[in-house]
Amino acid sequence: MKEKFLGVNVSSHSYNQLKEKIMLDIEQKKQSFIVAINPEKILRAQQDAELRRLLNGATYQIPDGVGVLLASKIKGGDISQRVTGIDMLLTLCEQATIHDKSVFLYGAKPGVAEKAKESLIRKYPNLKIAGVLDGYVKDQGYIKQQINAAKPDILFVALGSPRQEHWIVENMKDLDVRIFQGVGGSFDVLSG
């Protein structure tokens, strides 16, 4: 269930449908990749065919931005609910707590993911946070080793866009992780 805006796919699933599909992917040991789509990314993808391919190659493109909802309405589409990257992150943390799954926070400046972790634990005291790593570590081998040792079910990647989307696509095959979500500045928001 997707709608296309200037060549970029956006999922028209409801929040609840998305949540269920993603949790089912974990159970079925499928890898999936969530990307938040806003009008800025759609416009950037007009000049960047590789970015367009990358966004369209994600498993779930969530409608992050009222511009996407408005465009859908004008086209007679079905997207009526905004799903922001940070809301999806929080929903997945809640689901992880309920279903005993773990998450890993990768990205943002040193110390920020650690603070975001504390904030998430205050919200979801039973959440399993398998690890945190800042987004300025250069050694790609070390990053992958840390994540694979922690074996999280869900990996949140906060490197900014489109860097995080490129990173996910390049590395997902090497990682023992089910769900990847690019979350932009969400750790900064949570830690602030």
Contacts with ligand UDP, residue ranges (CB under 6 A): 107-109, 135-136, 158-161, 184-185, 187-188
How do the residues of the chain divide into helix, strand and coil, expressed in percent and rounded to 5? 50, 20, 30
Q: What is the DSSP string of 53-80?
A: HHHHTSSEEEE-SHHHHHHHHHTT----
Q: Which is nearer to ligand UDP, 101 or 167 (CB)?
A: 167
Q: Which is nearer to ligand UDP, 36 or 130 (CB)?
A: 36
Distance between CA atoms of residues 38 and 52, nearest Å: 13
Q: Which is nearer to ligand UDP, 95 or 161 (CB)?
A: 161
Distance between CA atoms of residues 65 and 59, nearest Å: 19
User: Which helix (DSSP H) or strand (DSSP E) does residue 157 occupy?
Assistant: strand 154-158
CA 165, 11, 32, 16 torsion-angle sign: positive
Compute the least distance from the CB of residue 141 to ligand UDP, in Å.
17
What residue number has its CB nearest to ligand UDP?
135
Compute the least distance from the CB of residue 107 to ligand UDP, in Å.
4
Compute the least distance from the CB of residue 96 to ligand UDP, in Å.
21
Q: Which is nearer to ligand UDP, 17 or 140 (CB)?
A: 140
Compute the least distance from the CB of residue 28 to ligand UDP, in Å.
29
